[in-house]
Every structure is written in C-alpha cells, then in structure tokens.
Structure 1
Amino acid sequence: MTDSDLPAHETPLKDPGIDFSMVLASAVHDMKNSLGMLLNSLDELRHDNENTLGGSNQFNMLQYEAERMHNDLVQLLGIYRLGENNLSAHIEEHFVPDFLSEHMARHTPLLEGLGIECTIDADNINGFFDADLLTGVLNNTINNAIRYTKSKIRLTAREQDGYLVIGVEDDGKGYPASMQLSGTLTFKSLDFNSGSTSLGLFFASSVAKLHSEGTSTGSIKLHNGGEFGGGVFEIWLP
C-alpha cells in the first residue's frame, strides 16, 4: 500500500519547513526556565521550613535532582548554540575569591542539608572570563562532586604558568583511569552507546576553548589527588 492508497484521514503529514533542532532548543529553553523557578521555590520552601526540611533526605534528593536536570538543560542549550556557531565568551575581569564565594552560596543550603562540608581555598587574584559560562561549568562539576563525595568538597583557585586554574575537589573514590584527561574534548570523541556521554565534560571543554589569549587556549584536566585524595576537576583559563 502506498501513501496515495490511504484514506484521507490517514495520509501522513509532512512539513519539510520544520526545523526540529530549533523546536527542541525552544522546548529545552522553556524547561530550563521552569526548573529555575522550581529551584527558587525549593530554596524558599527550605528557608521557611528549615527545622523540618533541612535534614529531609527526600527533600534534599528532590533539590539535587532538580539542580542536576537544570544543569543538563543549560549544557544542552550551550552545545546547541555551539553547533550553530552562536556561542561566544563575553570576557570581563572578576575578583576570583568573591566569584567563588557568591557561586558557592547558592549551593550551601543543599550541601548543609546533605551534611557535606565545603571550603574555598582561592588566592587573592583577578581573572578574565565569562562568568555565566563558567557558572554553568562549576554548577555541573559541583553537582557531580555532590554525587560522588563522601563528605567534603573544596573549591580552589590559583595562577600557574600564565593560567587561572579553578578546581573542584572531593573526597570520593576519584576518577577512573578511562576518564582522566588533560586537554580538550571533541564531540566525535563522545560515546553515545556506553550510557555515559560525558556531555558535561564536553561543555566544560568547549567553554574553556572559548577563552584564549594570543596562542594560549583554555582546557580542562581531570585527575585524582588534591587535598582529599579524591577526584580533581580543573579548568585552565589563559
């Protein structure tokens, strides 16, 4: 049977003018905004009911998973814009300790609810970077650290070899050998059949590459060690 043999009400509809990637991007954007409002509501709910919700495993898991999904959607939009050659870094100067402190403040209620200690060890230095893009990278990295840590997370910042190095450390088991890397990731290197596509790392690597100065380009490093002997994520920005 061909399409012409079908009754009129069964004729398949086709519209070659539909840009499905744009439809998905629009839907992802709407979902991201909705989750952002949900996270704000959860923060207010925690603040108003700290005595009853602060130690609730169910509430903490709800907030953690909502944060994780929000981060995933932010990354998907960033990767879409990257594929459309529409993602660029707006470089401004920032005092790094203040940037990290302000960034960590949004995670503090959840960290305290989960019983995770978080410290910041940052040199008194200024850095030149896109704060929004770096926030997206750190949100995802801290969220991963929350998942794998035993009880401690540490944010670090230093200058080394002409780069600003911002790190996230935890006291978990560390990265498996297959995930440890130094440099940049390409989209073709992602394995969509393994169940772990590393989209977060690809996004972080892409953000790092958008930061350059002269012949120097940003990159990421994953290794084990640090103060706690667990996993260490670092983003190097020139």
Structure 2
Amino acid sequence: MEKTLSALVVHDIKNALALLEIDLEQLIHRENAPTEGLRAYRRCVDLKSRLISFLTLYKHDQSGLQPLRQEVVLLEFIEDLVRNSQSGMAAESHHGHKITVSIDYEKMKMGSMATAWLDENLVELAMESAINNAIRYTHHRVGVWVEQTPDALILNVQDDGVGVGVVGELVQRNVPDQSSSTGLGLALCKAVAEAHGGGEVRLGNVAGGGALFSMTLRSTS
C-alpha cells in the first residue's frame, strides 16, 4: 500500500511539473527572456524526466514492462524526437553557448521508409531522457541518429561535452561543479531495452571529446 501511495504522489507531482514546464517554456521564448528562466525551465524538465523514469522503473520492478509494439517509421520517429527537443530549447545553454539538436544524416544507416516494431511511448521516453542528458552536458551540439541491422535497431545520441568517467559501476559526467548522476536515466533506458528482446545500453567517450549514448533494441522487425 505504501509503494502504491508513493507512486500516486509522484504521478501527481509529475502532472504539476508538466503544467509548470508549459509556463516556463512560454517565458523563455519571450523577447529578452531572463537567463534565470532558462535555468528554471531546464531544471523543471530534468525533474519531470526523473519522476517519469521513477514511475516507469516502479512498474518494471513490480510487474515488468510489457511493450505494446507497433510498426513505426523510424525517420519520422527521430524527426519528431528532435523537433520536440528543439521546441523547448532557448538560444543559449548553461555554458553561454548556442546549442543545436539535430539528426546526423551522414550516420543514418537505414532507408527513408525503414520501419521497426517497438513500443513508441517507451522508446520515446528513453530517448528523451538521453537527449535531455546530452543537452545538459554538451557545449554546442547534440547529434541523433539510427542504425538498423537485420536483427537489431541502434539509437544513438552524441554530444560534444566533457565526456564521462566510471567510478565502480557508476557512469558519471566529468563535471566537478555538478552533482554526480543518480543513474536513473540509464536504468530507465536499460529497462526499456531489456523489454525489447533483451537489448542493451552503452554510454562512453568518443574521440575528440564528448559522450556517445547507444541503445540497442533486439527483434525489431
């Protein structure tokens, strides 16, 4: 009963944060919007994402995630993801640099009409978490792309930030003035990948700086 009540409380807070996010998004797109508004917006988005992750992981822990697969046009799915992330972006990041989130078409390994069978809501939730995390730590750019093989689908998010470090089994960002990651976002992505045929998630550094997140989903067709 206590766990159920906790989940209901978190769900209620998540809905309240969603309304606050709408208000803050309107604020940051106003002319001469204060930088404090952007910081508040990013924190609101981050907190809402963590709460949704908690609710999804709670369901995974209680009964396991049961993906409702449907055929999805991959290019349209990725374009919607990037478009939604851009709609909440302001001109400047917390570093004072302009940030862009875009599809890396040169790395896309699939046809324009390629499809996959997946739970669109669950995969979107996981990818939003990965993109938001990349936006938080990137300097200038976040690239998103998809690779498709005969037996798997690989969704990638790459930033040009400071990269990641490993302490024990905890992967965390190399940012000394920020608190370490709780690992909640990665745990969510792993649960979603496991629900899609026992997939996997990787987060590592790339040559030249930055981090690369990859989520592999098995049995996608």
- Give the TM-score taking structure 2 as reference length: 0.82
Separation in structure 2 between the aligned mates of residue 180 and residue 161 of structure 1, nearest angstrom:
31
- Per-residue CA deviation, residues 158-190 of structure 1 (Å, 9 max, x unaligned), is 113621110010001212144889xxxxxxxxx
Count of aligned pairs: 199
Distance 1:160 1:223, change over 3 A: farther
Give 2:134's aligned residue.
145
Contact kept? 1:157, 1:167, Cα under 8 Å? yes
Contact kept? 2:65, 2:192, Cα under 8 Å? no
Separation in structure 2 between the aligned mates of residue 161 and residue 174 of structure 1, nearest angstrom:
31
Displacement of 1:87 in angstroms is: 2.8
Contact kept? 2:28, 2:38, Cα under 8 Å? no
| Stretches (4+) displaced over 6 A | none
Q: 1:220 aligns with which of 193, 201, 206?
A: 201
Separation in structure 2 between the aligned mates of residue 52 and residue 151 of structure 1, nearest angstrom:
21
Distance 1:45 1:173, change over 3 A: closer
Displacement of 1:109 in angstroms is: 3.6
Superposition map of 1:1-238 within 5 A: 19-47=1-29, 49=30, 51-53=31-33, 56-85=34-63, 87-114=65-92, 115-121=98-104, 122=108, 123=110, 124=112, 125-160=114-149, 162-178=151-167, 196-212=181-197, 217-225=198-206, 229-238=209-218
Distance 1:171 1:100, change over 3 A: same
Distance 1:180 1:151, change over 3 A: farther
Contact kept? 2:65, 2:191, Cα under 8 Å? no
Q: What letter corresponds to residue 191 of structure 2 in structure 1?
A: S
Displacement of 1:142 in angstroms is: 1.4
Contact kept? 1:170, 1:232, Cα under 8 Å? yes
Gaps of 5+ in 1: 1-18, 182-193
Displacement of 1:52 in angstroms is: 2.1
Displacement of 1:196 in angstroms is: 4.2
Separation in structure 1 between the aligned mates of residue 100 and residue 66 of structure 2, nearest angstrom:
34
Contact kept? 1:172, 1:230, Cα under 8 Å? yes
Structure with more relative contact order (C-alpha pairs < 8 Å, separation 6 or more): 2
Displacement of 1:138 in angstroms is: 1.4
Task: Using the aligned pairs only, state the percent identity.
Answer: 27
- Per-residue CA deviation, residues 70-128 of structure 1 (Å, 9 max, x unaligned), is 00010110111112105311111111121111122222144342220122024432122
Separation in structure 2 between the aligned mates of residue 195 and residue 174 of structure 1, nearest angstrom:
13
Contact kept? 1:169, 1:233, Cα under 8 Å? yes
Separation in structure 2 between the aligned mates of residue 179 and residue 70 of structure 1, nearest angstrom:
28
Distance 1:86 1:210, change over 3 A: closer
Separation in structure 2 between the aligned mates of residue 229 and residue 162 of structure 1, nearest angstrom:
30
Contact kept? 1:179, 1:222, Cα under 8 Å? no
Separation in structure 2 between the aligned mates of residue 168 and residue 86 of structure 1, nearest angstrom:
26
1:106 counterpart SS class = helix
Give 2:174's aligned residue.
none
RMSD, aligned CA: 2.2
Separation in structure 2 between the aligned mates of residue 179 and residue 235 of structure 1, nearest angstrom:
21
Displacement of 1:137 in angstroms is: 1.0
